[in-house]
A and B are shown apart, each in its own frame.
Chain A
Amino acid sequence: MIDVLEFEFMRNALLAGLLVSVICGIIGTLVVVNRLVLLSGGIAHAAFGGIGLSFFLGLPVMAVTLCFSFVVALILAGVTLKAKHRSDTIVGVLWAVGMALGVIFLDLTPGYNVDLMSYLFGSILMVTQLDLLVMVVVGTMVLFITGYYYQDLLAMSYDEEFARLRNVPVKPLYFLLVCMIALSVVVIIRVVGLILIIALLTIPPYIAEKYARSLRMMMVFSVLLSCLFASSGLLLSYFLNVTSGAAIIMVAAAGFFISLLLDRLVTRRTSMSSVSTSN
């Protein structure tokens, strides 16, 4: 097993998986409790427009995609604040428009031969030192911002109206959160690809929420679960020779169904024991 780590690309991949897990666990928790799953999916898919644009302009993919995602995120944040009841429709529209733009930009790029699959489903095995550095920077930013605004984020996530009355700057905080989501999405694309991001953002927090007793604990559990899913998925992809992003998601999905099954068993046992005590 250890000999897998003799390859540099595997070491980098594992490191990338763990770094992304930290980002996913924290941001994913905020996404789930604030019900921003659809919005995050919209940002992730619209990011494809940025990928297309970067090839069209011949500029670095990460930088252009990041700028593009920020613009999309700010539009979505503004719209979802203004027209809450229509926000799902607008997220859906931008989701599709972003992807269509990406395809058109790539069509217009002369002689392109981009491996599209790597952006759609991730390419963790091709992670570079620069990618790792970006992940460290983004991870540190996410940790710092969430730590600094923890009490405000907690209040906003739990009860937005009450938070406003306690002078929590809910609007700026919401924009900040959506921007952090955009930042994270662009980094996670490298690992699992833009199509699979949603699973990695939502499955660990979903499981963690059931056992956590505070938002902070939910973030920690999510990070640990993400690490578990990312590293075991990576190993599985190596031994079975399948796409790593998909393998990571399948492991996470297995975790998801196991947790559902456990819930079932626990509720059955408690209901049985309550029946026996009432008799």
Chain B
Amino acid sequence: MGPPVINVRNLWFSFAGQPVLKDVTFEVNEGEFLALIGPNGGGKTTLLKLLLGLLTADRGHIRVFGQSPRKVVHRIGYVPQDIHINQNFPISVMDIVLMGRLISSRSRRRHSKDDKLSAEKAMEELGVWEHRDRQIGDLSGGERQRVFIARALVIDPEMLMLDEPTASVDTKGQGEIFEHLKQVNKKVTVVLVSHDLMMISSYIKSVACVNQFIHYHPEAEITEEMVEICQCNVDLIAHGLPHRVLRKH
């Protein structure tokens, strides 16, 4: 196994005087499919944004591909939570996916033929090429997420980070998205934030509980210690299978 693609040591972050992350230390290896789980407000999204360089840590050390996050943004694909996005915005699926290429376009004014070919390839992969001329607001939740994943993949990233990619997607659509992510993971390290353990359990390779502290587990199962630290067993208990849902796989 190669060197870790993510290396975080003694990371502290606070927001408006309130600690969000305390002394977080963990590593992610190349080719992993890591799920960050934990209670709402536990710091999952914050941790993801720190890894992307969208936020700056108070203290500690973050290295992605051995460098500070801001220097490697061109090697990372990002799928944000889609609740912040204006649904009525007049934009076609094609234009959204092309947005992903802004970083590598030689000219920022117009998209080159290369940009369009990469966009086509990513959209074919995610099965949204047929929707290219539709307005994003007319798509279903699942289709929309696949468009955002295509936008993230259009630069051929080495790592893909997703924030709650299935929050507004029906069960069938969620399955499709995870099947796509499984394919993507053959070449690309995947880190995703999720709260739905039932769905992710059969796809992920490792899991980390984030609740101010982090508890990282290199296998796709939740230990009792994690449940204790994270109180992230809400879904599990609700399904009547405390602590064991992931262990079965």
Chain A residues packing against B (C-beta within 8 Å): 33, 148, 150-152, 154-155, 157-159, 161-168, 209-210, 212-215, 217-218
Known contacts A165-B52, A214-B92, A215-B91: A152-B86 contact under CB 8 Å: no
Q: How far is the CA of A217 from the CA of B135 in the complex (A)?
A: 13
Q: How far is the CA of A165 from the CA of B55 in the complex (A)?
A: 11
Q: Which of B95-103, B175-183, B188-196, B231-239 contacts A (4 or more CB under 8 A)?
A: B95-103
Residue among A151, A165, A217, A218 with the highest chain B CB neighbour number at 10 A? A165
**Shortest distance in angstroms between B144's beta carbon and chain A's nearest beta carbon?**
12
- Give chain A residues whose Cβ lies under 8 Å from the Cβ of B96: 158
Interface of A is mostly: helix
Tell me whether B108 and A151 are in contact (CB under 8 A). Answer: yes
- Give chain A residues whose Cβ lies under 8 Å from the Cβ of B151: 162
Known contacts A148-B109, A162-B78, A214-B91: A33-B102 contact under CB 8 Å: no
Tell me whether B102 and A166 are in contact (CB under 8 A). Answer: yes
Q: How far is the CA of A96 from the CA of B84 in the complex (A)?
A: 31
**Shortest distance in angstroms between A219's beta carbon and chain B's nearest beta carbon?**
10
Choose among A151, A158, A165 the residue that contacts B91 (Cβ–Cβ < 8 A): A158
Tell me whether A167 and B73 are in contact (CB under 8 A). Answer: yes
Tell me whether B80 and A166 are in contact (CB under 8 A). Answer: no
Known contacts A151-B109, A166-B103: A218-B73 contact under CB 8 Å: no
List B residues 86-116 near A (Cβ within 8 Å). Answer: 86, 88-92, 95-96, 99-100, 102-103, 105, 108-111
Tell me whether B102 and A168 are in contact (CB under 8 A). Answer: yes
Interface residues on B, range: 20 to 34
Tell me whether B78 and A165 are in contact (CB under 8 A). Answer: yes
Closest to B73 in A: A165
Q: How far is the CA of A159 from the CA of B136 in the complex (A)?
A: 13
Tell me whether A150 and B109 are in contact (CB under 8 A). Answer: yes
Tell me whether A158 and B85 are in contact (CB under 8 A). Answer: yes
Tell me whether A213 and B86 are in contact (CB under 8 A). Answer: no
Tell me whether A159 and B95 are in contact (CB under 8 A). Answer: no
Choose among B54, B89, B109, B111 the residue that contacts A164 (Cβ–Cβ < 8 A): B54
List B residues 155-175 near A (Cβ within 8 Å). Answer: none
**Shortest distance in angstroms between B51's beta carbon and chain A's nearest beta carbon?**
11
**Shortest distance in angstroms between B81's beta carbon and chain A's nearest beta carbon?**
9
Closest to A155 in B: B99
Closest to A164 in B: B54
**Shortest distance in angstroms between B46's beta carbon and chain A's nearest beta carbon?**
13
- Give chain B residues whose Cβ lies under 8 Å from the Cβ of A162: 78, 80, 99, 151
Tell me whether B80 and A214 are in contact (CB under 8 A). Answer: no
Tell me whether A213 and B92 are in contact (CB under 8 A). Answer: yes
Tell me whether B99 and A159 are in contact (CB under 8 A). Answer: yes
Choose among B90, B92, B99, B135 the residue that contacts A166 (Cβ–Cβ < 8 A): B99
Q: How far is the CA of A168 from the CA of B85 in the complex (A)?
A: 17
Closest to B82 in A: A159
Choose among A157, A167, A213, A215 the residue that contacts B102 (Cβ–Cβ < 8 A): A167
Tell me whether A214 and B99 are in contact (CB under 8 A). Answer: no
The 3 closest A-B pairs by CB, nearest first: A166-B102, A212-B90, A166-B103
Q: How far is the CA of A155 from the CA of B151 in the complex (A)?
A: 12
**Shortest distance in angstroms between A96's beta carbon and chain B's nearest beta carbon?**
27
Given contacts A161-B84, A167-B73, A210-B88, 11 further A-B contacts (CB under 8 A): A151-B99, A151-B105, A158-B89, A158-B91, A158-B99, A163-B99, A165-B78, A166-B99, A212-B90, A213-B135, A214-B95
